[in-house]
Structure 1
Amino acid sequence: MNINNSLDWLAEEFRRRFETEPEGIWSAPGRVNLIGEHTDYNGGFVLPFAIDRRTRVAVRARTDRKVQVASTFNGSSPATADIDDVGPGTVSGWSAYPLGVVWSMREAGVNFGGFDMLIDSSVPVGAGLSSSAAIECAVAVAINDLAGAGLSRTKLALIGQRAENEVVGAPTGIMDQSASLLGQDGSAVFIDCRSYGSELVPLDLAGSDLVLQIIDTKVSHSHATGGYAARRASCERGASDLRVDSLRDVTASDLDRAAEQLDEETFRRVRHVVTENERVQQTVEVLRTQGPAAIGELLDQSHVSMRDDFEISCPELDLAVETARHNGAIGARMTGGGFGGSAIALTPVDQVDAVRTAVLSGFEQVGWTTPDIFEVQPADGAHRAR
């Protein structure tokens, strides 16, 4: 289905469900984090890019301060709420993402009278490609436009993050929303998560005869529960014990001292963040001077650090990474928050089939669910599509 056909279909589905015309359709992409994992909430550096898998929202404004939110992936009745009643603890499930943005926009001083909304998405859920931020950013740009609020992309990213932190209950950083809002075709987004500064970095995969393969292991994860929050707490404990505001203030030269001051587990968590920040900066430099074919070793090092020091990988991710590397990928790593989701493999075009076949065979041999393997390209960030 091409883009125009998909927009036509979504508009028709909106008409069927709400018996009225949408005023517009807005679109926001998922993201792949090329490198820089669990550094964002530590005030560090990340290097994601927006992908050509997107969430689209068809919207019509209301004037009665009511919101109705439906989705094509949930056939039940729309989630309905009064704008003034939405907030932390009042919503749950998938509707917490769009309704969380409603609350966060209101908290930011944006006045609007409500809306009907239909959400459709091609971003896989639970794959580590930030399907949640794609929803949040599509909703945020739609409200921003309809209300004439004129908020900057950086402000909208913070609004999306606050929705996810305080309404959804997931202690995520700013990276996902920033990538979805700031991405551009042919580029990665280098983000300083302390200052919120960002700049585009060339990522010409096609020009280097490379593709980025996504290996969705089908091991679902949730940022709102379990290990993600524990890792964040460990980082905060490490920063406190080292008497710094955040782990951004710790450098590789400080690690010997940190090893003496911290318990063994906390030290490994800290070491991952410190070395990952360095790898992000090295990757940016290599992309600018040598191009994407030269970053493979940095991707490999990142995975080892996440596997051994931060302990957020899983057997399925490790198998995907190791198999891809042994069958033609020049670098591979898990991506996203961990505990499941996806791996990425930077692969020469002529090795794509070999990597795909080997990974599928490897999962079949151990009896695991067949992974979904597909390719992504850097894409434009959130915008009005119609």
Structure 2
Amino acid sequence: MSTIPTAPSLSDIYPPSALPFQSPRWSRLLSTFSSTFSRPATFVSRSPGRVNLIGEHIDYSLYPVIPMAVEQDVLLAVGITPHSPDGGSGDGASGKGSVRIRLRNLDGEKFAPHDFKVWSDGTVEIDSSKLEWSNYFKAGMRGALELLGKLGHAGLEGVDLDVLATGTVPAGGGMSSSAAFVCAAALAVVRAAGVEEVDKKALVETAVVSERSVGVNSGGMDQSASVFGERGSALYVKFVPELEARAVEFPELKEPLTFVVTQSLVAADKHVSAPVCYNLRVVECTLASLVLGKITGVQGKMKGDKSPLGMALRTFHDAFFEGKEKEEGMEGDKKQLEQLLKLVDDYLPQEEGYTREQISDILGTPIKELEEKYMTKFPVRAERFKLRHRAIHVFSEALRVMNFLALIEGSTPTTDEEGKELVKDLGDLLNQTQDSCRDVFECSCPELDDLCALARSAGAVGSRLTGAGWGGCSVHLVPADKVDAVKKAWTEKFYKKRFPDISEEKLSEAIVVSKPGMGSCLVEVGGRESIPE
């Protein structure tokens, strides 16, 4: 069992270059906690954001992805106050005890304070129709209490919690601030309940389901990267037959691989746009799986899975090839995906998409049943569902992930020329992903397209959106000697052109040379107002 680590110092979490910023940040968090709640924090729960290097919008179809955790993170300072069962946090009429939560944010002007109670039976009320920052804490708490119940643990019985939050992961910025918050919240609640060893896999699975309670069909890649992240390494995350994450080391090159993340400054809140963007894509991929299964006669072999709507394209994939001879290893997987792409070309010909009526006819399922099963829990708005486009993107992107992994793990360049060729090949795959996200999956936007075009013209070898899309951020593979030129192109031709009044501080936040960071961790405070570097 791989468990969440406890970090004794900030240098165990961040690289030396980050300490001048992080040390005063942590001190401010802890001192503000003390002044806000008139007592010191007990511990801090931390979970980072992530950048997905490749494997966009395929985690909820249960195909592997390659993300990395980043330095930007969510911190939750937590104080635990014991109380007696009849000490004022109960409901005298019902006899139910409760836990009182006082939730505050360092940015109190933007994020209003919330006080609420959680009943001892684990009930956490969340109104997913409202976009409130407290919902993400409640979502993590709900999942944590369910996990504690499965472990036979009493939960938060006999304690109240004070929580002060702060974060450097941009909200709606494509670096998965929501997953970082939910993971940090779930970890905080499990630790507050007295569980000292928290299983990483259990925390991820809890956080995935938890985030769905705020109205987003979350896949699992974001939470996996946040929890399993390792400094200096990307992650290869797979979901079948079960969740597994392992470190992926980059090959040693004369000029190390440099990934630059840049913000479009177009907020991409999955909760707000979900019915016509993120959740709609989840529904389209699910319907594509069902339709392909029906047309090819393997629907009976397709069993419910752990994807958001219980029937992923990977499940169709496995059912279609069940019992058929397969070449061993990655080459066999690649050939299967190539065959599936040909199959989509043959069996899903409609470029304009499929109506509810057409899908109903193919599946032999009444429209009302289709809507209740796949479009109610997470509502969508669409007249046509582009099953062909979505399936093509998923299968081709899964292929690109395999090729990316093979290049990273199978390459040992011995000359500068071989190193440059490797970087070019990796960049080509990122560019292909952007083309597919823009033209096939249709999750890009003009701002992201401009950032990618400018980066490539200034020397980036690979550029693409990362995260949900429709705004947020982009990731770029840039030779070290081209980083300044790429930054200059963005500054002059994008940021100062589109946002003439942008401050230097905002500009520095918008462009970040990103290195793989540490995943979720705990820091025991013990009454201190600073953490040693």
Q: TM-score range by the shorter chain?
A: over 0.9
- RMSD between superposed Cα atoms in Å: 2.1
The one-letter amino acid of 2:284's match is S
Aligned equivalents of 1:77, 1:281: Cα separation in 2: 44
**Aligned-partner Cα distance in 1 for 2:481–2:286:** 44
Residue in 2 that maps onto 1:242: 292
In the alignment, the residues of structure 2 paired with residue 78 and residue 278 of structure 1 have an alpha-carbon distance, to the nearest angstrom, of 46
**2:97 counterpart of 1:78:** no
* Alignment match of 1:270 (pick from 391, 395, 408): 391
Partner of 1:103: 142
Q: Residue type matched to 1:101 in 2?
A: G
Deviation at 1:360, TM superposition (A): 2.2
Is 1:373 aligned to residue 411 of structure 2?
no
Equivalent of residue 436 in structure 2, options 305, 319, 326: 305
Q: Quick one: distance in 2 between partners of 1:66 and 1:92?
A: 22
> Residue 137 of structure 1: which of 183, 207, 214 is its match?
183
SS of the residue aligned with 1:374?
A: strand
| Counterpart-to-counterpart distance in 2, 1:18 and 1:236 | 47
- Structure 1 residue 385 and structure 2 residue 523: aligned? yes
2:125 to 71, 82, 87: 87
Aligned residue for 1:324, secondary structure, equals helix
Note closer, same or farther for the CA distance 1:222–1:271 as it changes in structure 2 (3 Å cut).
same
Residue deviations 1:129-158 (CA, integer Å, cap 9, x gap): 011111112222222223233441111112
Q: Distance in 1 between matches of 2:522 and 2:219?
A: 25
**TM-score, scaled to structure 2:** 0.69
* 2:287 corresponds to 1:229: no
Q: Is the 8 A contact 1:28 1:180 kept in 2?
A: yes
Structure showing greater radius of gyration is 2
The secondary structure found in structure 2 opposite 1:271 is: helix
Distance in 2, Cα, partners of 1:88 & 1:25:
24
- Structure-1 residue corresponding to 2:345: 259
Structure 1 residue aligned with 2:403: 282
Q: 1:114 to 1:103 in 2, by over 3 A?
A: farther
Distance in 2, Cα, partners of 1:40 & 1:348: 28
Cα deviation per residue 1:26-84 (whole Å; 9 max; x = unaligned)?
A: 21111000011111111111111000111111101134411111111233652111112
Q: Is the 8 A contact 1:24 1:60 kept in 2?
A: yes
Distance 1:73 1:159 in 2: 27
8 Å CA contact retained: 1:238, 1:266 = yes
8 Å CA contact 1:46, 1:193 repeated in 2: no
> What is the DSSP-based 3-state SS (H/G/I as helix, E as strand, rest coil) of the residue aligned with 1:242?
helix
The alignment partner of 2:67 has SS state of strand
- Which amino acid in 2 is paired with 1:70? R
Query: Which AA in structure 1 matches 2:478?
Result: T
Matched residue of 2:114: which SS? strand
Counterpart residue number, 2:76: 57
Is 1:173 aligned to 2:219, yes or no? yes
Q: Aligned to 1:83, what secondary structure does the other structure show?
A: strand
Q: 2: CA distance between counterparts of 1:182 and 1:21?
A: 29
Q: Work out the CA distance in 2 between the residues paired with 1:206 and 1:120.
A: 37
Does residue 43 of structure 1 match 2:90? no
SS in 2 for 1:281: helix
1:146–1:208 CA distance, 2 compared to 1 (3 A): farther
CA, structure 1 residues 9+232, in 2 after alignment: closer, same or farther (shift >3 Å)? same
Looking at structure 1, the residues matched to 144 and 184 of structure 2 have their Cα atoms a distance apart, in angstroms, of: 13
1:155 match: 202
Q: Are the aligned partners of 2:50 and 2:222 in contact in 1 as well (CA < 8 Å)?
A: yes
TM-score in terms of structure 1 length: 0.94
Change (3 A) 1:349 1:385: farther
Deviation at 1:5, TM superposition (A): 2.6
Q: Distance in 1 between matches of 2:101 and 2:209?
A: 19
Q: CA deviation at 1:272?
A: 0.3
- Cα deviation for residue 366 of structure 1 reads 5.7
**Gaps spanning 5+ residues in structure 1: where?**
none
State how far apart, in whole Å, the 2-side matches of 1:365 and 1:3 are. Answer: 28
1:197 pairs, out of 244, 248, 252, with: 244
Letter in 1 for 2:397: E
Say if 1:83 and 1:103, in contact at 8 Å, map to a contact too: no
Larger deviation, residues 209-218 vs 243-252: 243-252
For residues 357 and 310 of structure 1, the distance between their equivalents in structure 2, rounded to whole angstroms, comes to: 30
Greater shift, 343-352 or 371-380, is seen at 371-380
Identity of aligned residues (%): 30
Matches within 5 A, 1:344-363: 344-363=475-494
